[in-house]
């Protein structure tokens, strides 16, 4: 009929016209990713030149991360009637993180041994150029447990927010929230101000997210233009092995935990489609941190739990990064024809478990943590990292996706353990197919 908008019918029978559908953020980001791939493939020079678009968007998001974390945690903890819950929530979250991080490391070892993605390459270690990864090796050399712990404490209150270090912002926010709650009625005006400030800050998040398609387009165009599809083809078996490991981890392990808690992991993925596509396009899980925290609250998790679990998980619950570390280490050994005994593989697992935590909060944490692991394991030359440097950007997409999914599941699970989850609100959010 003349004058009517063209419509499409979704599976649930609800009709949407194209204009309404196109307003969906995930649709815009999806098309931006496709356009970025096309531009990067056919015009690689132009694709590389578009890098500032992705960088600018990620900087915009990082600009707002510290205020979001502070406001969410400080108001959430100050509003708790029992401050002992803070320690209990943090303890349960860390227990969950340790368990699933270890399982991720084990899955990486299992997939690496079963599929052997580096078998048959027969690369001579003497031909490797250590200089190509020297930057990562230097950063890994500076990592230590004591330095990591001391780095959690900011030099000043302001420096925590200026540097954008998530762990430092988290540390101060928890302390401030506890102090604000302990102040009682005297602290109520400050708490009221923080709660009032939360609304415009999240409105700002919504405004920034409108630029997500532009950021995803620029980042994807740069990735394809700079690294090319050919780099993936050369090491396709390794890439596919890692993506398979990540799928099995999410579908089987996280899926079992979700079923135990009364919801489907695939329903959760559908609920987080905006954030997942954004992470895929930008190869950065930080780009979705503010909106992930907001969605976890909308899904029924209490603000105090969201504020503690999600930001902490971004540093300590890196399931994708952990899987990548053990799988990549085995790939390097197989490609260089180095046989690793079971004891040596277990050593890699133990070292990776520590180095992945030591690199928390460091830019490019996955590759740096791998460098730290290889330097401690004498059987493997650290220069072997040069073999996978060219495809690290594509591996990072999967690392970031797995990390954000793992943290979303962790938030809901810990909230349920603490009886701080509105299950009716959760099911309503997950069943909403819009």
Expressed in angstroms, the distance from the first to the final Cα of the chain is 26
Tell me the average confidence (pLDDT) per consecutive run of 10 residues in the chain, 434 residues long.
49 52 79 90 91 89 87 82 76 91 92 88 71 58 63 84 82 88 85 89 89 90 83 80 94 94 93 91 84 91 88 85 89 87 85 66 62 75 78 84 93 92 91 72
Its CATH architecture, for the domain 20-431, is: Orthogonal Bundle (1.10)
Q: What is the pLDDT of residue 270?
A: 93
CA pair distance 300, 305, nearest whole angstrom? 10
CA pair distance 173, 311, nearest whole angstrom? 11
CA pair distance 386, 200, nearest whole angstrom? 46
* 278, 279, 283, 286 alpha-carbon torsion, rounded to 10°: 110
What phi and psi, each to the nearest 5 degrees, are found at residue 263? Answer: -145, 170
What phi and psi, each to the nearest 5 degrees, are found at residue 425? Answer: -65, -35
Q: What is the pLDDT of residue 81?
A: 61
Give the domain ranges of the chain: 20-431
Q: What is the pLDDT of residue 14?
A: 47
CA pair distance 201, 199, nearest whole angstrom? 5
Q: What is the pLDDT of residue 144?
A: 57
Q: What is the pLDDT of residue 227?
A: 79
Other beta carbons less than 10 A from residue 342's beta carbon:
9
In 183-251, alpha helices (H)? 188-209, 212-234, 236-248
Residue with tokens 């997210």: 209
Q: What is the pLDDT of residue 410?
A: 94
CA pair distance 116, 331, nearest whole angstrom? 7
Helix, strand, coil percentages, rounded to 5, for the chain: 80, 0, 20
Q: What is the pLDDT of residue 254?
A: 95
Please state the pTM of the whole predicted model: 0.84
CA pair distance 275, 278, nearest whole angstrom? 5
């Amino acid at each position: 009929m003349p004058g009517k908008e063209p419509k499409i019918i979704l599976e649930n029978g609800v009709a949407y016209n194209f204009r309404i559908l196109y307003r969906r953020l995930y649709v815009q980001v999806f098309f931006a990713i496709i356009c970025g791939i096309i531009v990067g493939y056919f015009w690689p020079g132009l694709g590389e030149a578009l890098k500032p678009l992705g960088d600018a968007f990620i900087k915009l998001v990082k600009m707002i991360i510290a205020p979001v974390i502070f406001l969410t945690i400080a108001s959430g903890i100050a509003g708790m009637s029992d401050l002992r819950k803070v320690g209990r929530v943090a303890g349960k979250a860390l227990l969950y993180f340790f368990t699933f991080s270890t399982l991720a490391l084990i899955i990486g070892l299992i997939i690496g041994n079963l599929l052997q993605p580096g078998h048959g390459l027969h690369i001579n270690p003497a031909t490797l150029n250590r200089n190509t990864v020297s930057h990562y090796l230097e950063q890994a050399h500076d990592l230590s447990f004591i330095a990591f712990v001391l780095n959690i404490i900011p030099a000043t209150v302001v420096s925590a927010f200026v540097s954008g270090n998530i762990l430092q912002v988290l540390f101060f926010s928890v302390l401030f929230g506890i102090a604000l709650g302990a102040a009682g009625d005297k602290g109520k005006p400050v708490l009221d101000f923080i709660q009032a400030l939360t609304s415009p800050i999240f409105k700002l998040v919504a405004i920034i997210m409108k630029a997500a398609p532009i950021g995803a387009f620029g980042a994807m165009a740069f990735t394809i233009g700079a690294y090319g599809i050919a780099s993936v083809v050369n090491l396709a078996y390794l890439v596919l092995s890692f993506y398979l490991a990540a799928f099995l981890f999410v579908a089987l392990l996280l899926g079992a935990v979700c079923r135990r808690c009364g919801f489907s992991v695939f329903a959760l993925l559908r609920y987080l489609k905006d954030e997942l596509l954004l992470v895929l396009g930008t190869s950065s899980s930080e780009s979705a941190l503010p909106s992930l925290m907001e969605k976890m609250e909308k899904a029924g998790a209490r603000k105090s739990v969201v504020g503690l679990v999600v930001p902490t998980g971004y540093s300590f619950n890196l399931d994708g990064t952990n899987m990548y570390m053990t799988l990549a280490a085995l790939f390097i050994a197989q490609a260089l024809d180095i046989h690793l005994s079971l004891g040596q593989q277990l050593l890699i697992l133990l070292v990776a478990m520590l180095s992945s935590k030591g690199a928390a909060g460091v830019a490019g944490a996955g590759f740096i943590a791998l460098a730290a692991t290889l330097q401690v394991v004498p059987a493997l030359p650290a220069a072997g990292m040069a073999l996978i440097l060219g495809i690290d950007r594509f591996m990072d997409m999967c690392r970031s996706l797995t990390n954000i999914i793992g943290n979303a599941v962790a938030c809901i699970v810990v909230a349920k353990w603490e009886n701080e989850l509105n299950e009716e609100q959760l099911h309503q959010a997950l069943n909403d197919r819009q």
